[in-house]
């Protein structure tokens, strides 16, 4: 609407916000950075991150040229605008490696800082490609050509909403220099970032999905080879260090679906660090997403978790998401009633009924977002 056309809707997973029309069908060209592989001594390895992102942006740009297009409208859109979407996975693992609970200001700050670096590196890499290969066809007149970066676009939302926007705009990198570079040499890609759900590739890599909190610390995974019990390795490591990993702990974890929250002998700091998705207040997910969102030129596939939803709670949560400047959210996941009863009664073994209606973390998702 500001330039090449109208964003009528997002994709299924809500991280793609591209123009579609009778002549153009938007295409997802996605990739994700594994944060775990970019942690060194409990900190983000910025130098390695820069190298990875530079390679990833080049790779995604190459995909546009060598891809198979089933319909001409998709090819027309992709070659004209050359949009790509680089995101991340393993955010929760990166917090574990720093001993940072998801429900904390430290986690929100880390979400901000790591996304700022990803954004800076991705925009820089696309600008370097523009210098080498030329800008995308529809670049003239775009926000990029006017020196407007994602962080700058918040002012447009502020102007249209007035007081109904409360989004942090802190920054730590030299954005002025990058802004001038983009104005001078242009961009190879109309869009460069989007945070996909990574439901499949994160499992292949052995890390947590996208920016999600851990769904369960202990669960059973089934495939053609049989059933396998999967336990959070970070939690096991920390429990072993404290001499707490024994048969009783394993039994308690099975009973409480992998949650430490109701196990009395589990230390408070480990309960906070290994809080599962339904134990983390959803406002922390919204705050972290808001911090990431200011660096994104597309959007964020964000699941929200609420054990016992109500109209009032949902109204408060989604109003908060809007005020924090979130462009999209994804699934709202709720807990089955039987599971809620079991989880909220600390020693209620009479309530240990089987859970048949708990949500699955494997809801249908777009194959391109994996």
Quick check: is 28 catalytic?
A: no
From 15, 116, 279, 365, the catalytic residue: 15
DSSP one-letter string for 116-164? HHHHHHHHHHHHHHHHHH---TT-TTSTGGGT--GGGGHHHHHHHHTTS
- Which residue's structure tokens are 């404290």? 242
What letter does residue 82 receive in the DSSP assignment?
Answer: -
Question: Structure tokens of 213?
Answer: 């909190």
Which residue out of 13, 114, 121, 366 is catalytically annotated? 13
Is 114 annotated as catalytic? no
C-alpha to C-alpha distance for 340 and 346, rounded to whole angstroms: 11
Q: Which of 11, 189, 217, 257 is catalytic?
A: 11
Eight-class DSSP state of 195 = B
Rounded Cα distance, 40 and 46, in Å: 9
What burial class does residue 268 get, using C-beta atoms within 10 Å of its C-beta: 0-12 exposed, 13-18 middle, 19+ buried?
A: exposed
Torsion of CA 19, 22, 24, 26, to 10 degrees: 50
Task: Match 């409360």 to its residue by tokens.
Answer: 166
Report the alpha-carbon distance of residue 325 to residue 311 in Å, rounded. 21
Active site residue 11: yes
Catalytic residue ranges: 11, 13, 15
């Amino acid at each position: 609407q500001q330039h090449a056309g109208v964003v009528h809707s997002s994709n299924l997973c809500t991280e793609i916000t591209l123009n579609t029309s009778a002549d153009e069908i938007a295409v997802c060209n996605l990739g994700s950075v594994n944060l775990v592989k970019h942690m060194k001594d409990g900190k983000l390895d910025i130098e390695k991150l820069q190298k990875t992102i530079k390679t990833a942006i080049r790779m995604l740009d190459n995909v546009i040229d060598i891809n198979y297009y089933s319909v001409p409208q998709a090819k027309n859109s992709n070659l004209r605008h050359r949009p790509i979407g680089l995101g991340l996975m393993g955010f929760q693992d990166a917090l574990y490696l720093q001993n940072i609970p998801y429900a904390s200001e430290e986690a929100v700050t880390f979400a901000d800082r790591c996304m700022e670096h990803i954004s800076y590196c991705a925009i820089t890499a696309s600008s370097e490609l523009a210098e080498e290969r030329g800008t995308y066809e529809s670049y003239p007149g775009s926000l990029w050509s006017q020196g407007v970066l994602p962080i700058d676009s918040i002012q447009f939302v502020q102007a249209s909403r007035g007081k109904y926007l409360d989004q942090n705009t802190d920054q730590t990198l030299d954005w002025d220099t990058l802004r001038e570079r983009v104005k001078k040499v242009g961009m190879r890609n109309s869009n460069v970032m989007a945070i996909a759900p990574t439901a499949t590739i994160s499992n292949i890599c052995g890390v947590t999905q996208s920016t999600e909190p851990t769904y369960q610390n202990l669960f059973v995974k089934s495939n053609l080879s049989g059933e396998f019990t999967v336990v959070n390795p970070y939690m096991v490591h920390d429990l072993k260090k404290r001499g707490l990993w024994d048969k009783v702990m394993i039994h308690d974890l099975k009973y409480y679906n992998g949650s430490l929250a109701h196990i009395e002998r589990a230390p408070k700091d480990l309960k906070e660090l290994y809080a599962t998705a339904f134990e983390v207040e959803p406002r922390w997910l919204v705050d972290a997403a808001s911090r990431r969102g200011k660096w994104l030129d597309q959007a964020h596939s964000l699941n929200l978790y609420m054990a016992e939803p109500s109209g009032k709670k949902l109204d408060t949560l989604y109003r908060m998401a809007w005020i924090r400047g979130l462009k999209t959210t994804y699934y709202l996941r709720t807990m089955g009633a039987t599971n809620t009863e079991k989880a909220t009664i600390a020693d209620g073994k009479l309530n240990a009924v089987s859970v048949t209606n708990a949500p699955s973390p494997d809801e249908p998702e777009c194959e391109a977002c994996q």
